[in-house]
Each structure stands twice: as structure tokens, then as C-alpha cells.
Amino acid sequence: MWKTGKLDVKLIACSDQFIHCAIYSVDGNLSHWMSVIYAQNQLVNRKKLWLDIKNCASSIQGPWMVIGDFNIVLTVADRAGGTPVQPAEFYDLVCMMDEIGLYEHDTRGSHFTWSNKHTNGVIYSRIDIVICNKEWFLNYPKCEVEVLNPHISDLSPLRIKLLDTHTNMNSWNREEVGRPMYVLWRKLKRLQPILRGLNRRVTAGIQKIQESRIQLEQAQHLLAGDMFNQDYIQTVKY
């Protein structure tokens, strides 16, 4: 889902494990490339995915982000609990990244993005990953990737934030002729829809959902500080 008034998304290639798209701005210029991943569990099937990503790389010019559920970690430190990770599990992924020049993006929030949600034998893994080429880091130096709380899911969603003041600044900077106070009034009037959006009242139902989310986030914050505490696990689970 995207705002069609701001972006034009064109499908370039896809399989049962990825969707590769070119993202254009409304003026027709290429903004960036985006590949969304949902890797299979089996190692042999993931090898096909890494090959597909390498094939996409051959035609990439410009910023490129690969994001999603890779179903494997990048390092042995990306799993806590359960069977220790063996380097052979992520060897092919790391080799693919090295070969075509993709690098893991820093994230904010929890390090782990998945949990089996068990009370006993709990496992945490960082399998939802964002990797980018060097052009991405050069063009979007202020990009932020945030690992959100999972809420009722076993996976934590990832939120990508790009510094986007283009639309508001264009509205504010549009030239007006007249006395200074008139110019200021006209600029503020154009920004009214944006300002109204920032001050919208929430309904009672939405307010209740927000309160529940706050309680869940507080519980998950406690669990993040003591990940194997069975009481905290139970509280988050139910």
C-alpha cells in the first residue's frame, strides 16, 4: 500500500519469495528500487532466492533496499535461546551480500524481530532484515529503520522513515505577492489541511486500542530487559 499521489510503483520481477519493484516519484523520476522478501524455511529454497536477488542486482542503478523476512539470521549473535546457529545456515546469504555490495542497515528498537512466544524454551531471532546498497546510504543518510513491538504477532514489523519535507516545504516556499502579513496568511491557509490532520480527534474506540497498545508495549519493554523471565513472557503472551 502506498499513496498513489506521491509514488508510482512498478513491478519488475517476482517469485514466491520476493517482489522487486522500481519506485518513481510523481514527476517520473526514479526514486529508488525496493525488493520485499518472504524467504522459505528450507535452506535449498533460500539459495534460489539469493540467486534471484543477484540477478536483480545486474540491472540496478541507484538506491536499492531489500527488506523483509529472510527466515535466517546474519550472525550467530542474532539468535538467543534454542539450538545455536551454525555459520553454514547464513553462509550463502553473506556471500551474496558481499558479491553484489549489500550491507545491513542499522535499526532502532529491539535487536530481535521474532519470538516463538513460548513460556518455556523461548527463542528470539533477528530474521527480519534490511539490507541496502551504497547508493542508498549516500542518497538517504537520514533513513531510519525501527523495529516496532510485535503486539499480537510473533514477528515485529519494521518501519522505514525517510526525511520527507518536500511536499510541505514546496507549499510553504511557493511564491506569493503582497504585503508580508498577507503572504504569511496565504502560506498558513495552504497548510491548513496538513495542520488539521495533525490535530484530528480520535474516537473512543481508537483511544481504547491505543491504551491497550501502551499496556502491551510496557509489558514488552519489561520483557526486553529480562527476556527469559517466565512471568513477563506470560504477561505479553496473554
Tens digit of pLDDT at every position of the chain (238 positions): 567 777 889 999 999 999 999 999 888 888 899 999 999 999 999 999 999 999 999 999 999 999 999 999 999 999 999 988 888 899 999 999 999 999 999 999 999 999 998 989 999 999 999 999 999 998 888 889 999 988 888 899 999 988 654 445 555 556 666 677 767 777 676 666 555 544 544 454 566 667 677 778 888 888 888 888 888 887 777 6
CA distances from 235 to 9, 99, 144, 223 (A): 41, 44, 30, 9
Output the pLDDT for position 159. Answer: 92
CATH 3.60.10.10, domain 8-162, yes or no: yes
Query: 44's torsion region: left (phi>0), alpha (psi -120 to 50) or beta?
Result: alpha
Q: What is the pLDDT of residue 203?
A: 52
Output the nine-digit C-alpha cell for 60. Answer: 540496478
Q: Sign of the C-alpha dihedral, residues 101, 104, 56, 10?
A: negative
Rounded distance between C-alpha atoms, residue 202 and residue 206, angstroms = 6
